[in-house]
Amino acid sequence: MNKPWVQVLIPWNRQDEENAAQEASLRDALELALRRKLAEGRVTSSLAVRGVPTLGDFRRVLPAVIMAAVRHYFRYAPACPSLADPAERPRLFAGEAGEGLPGAALRGLGVAGAHPDPREVGPRLGEPLL
């Protein structure tokens, strides 16, 4: 909820008698629970945080709220979380980095990262495997 891209859109049916009777306490509870988000939302769409009364208004306000969420996400979300805590590259065997790939000499690969001569790797077409 504390992320800048989280937005608030409050549907508010003004024709509902129960809603109208409890409006003050409902608004107080909203203000208490979502004070910061309501303040941020007033910049994007005051109708979204005051209460969207009709489905037509909801359809009109929703795209603006979504675009605000997208803008905030691209502005504040980490671009690449993996860069924050670099991890060691996974290895199959201990000591692999300094000694080349295990069994590399048997496969004709030589040192790790070296490209073999295709004529020296494996049997040629038509030759027996063993």
Q: Which residues pair with 11 in a beta bridge?
A: 52
pLDDT in tens, the chain (130 residues): 778 788 888 888 888 889 889 889 988 898 888 888 887 777 677 788 888 888 999 999 999 888 988 988 888 887 776 555 666 777 777 654 545 555 544 455 445 555 566 666 666 677 776 6
Please state whether 7 falls in left (phi above 0), alpha (psi between -120 and 50) or beta: beta
pLDDT score of 56 = 92
pLDDT score of 25 = 92
- What type of residue is 62? L
pTM listed for this prediction? 0.51
User: How many Å apart are CA 12 and CA 125, to the nearest integer?
Assistant: 76
* Contacts (Cβ under 8 Å, ≥6 apart) of 95: none
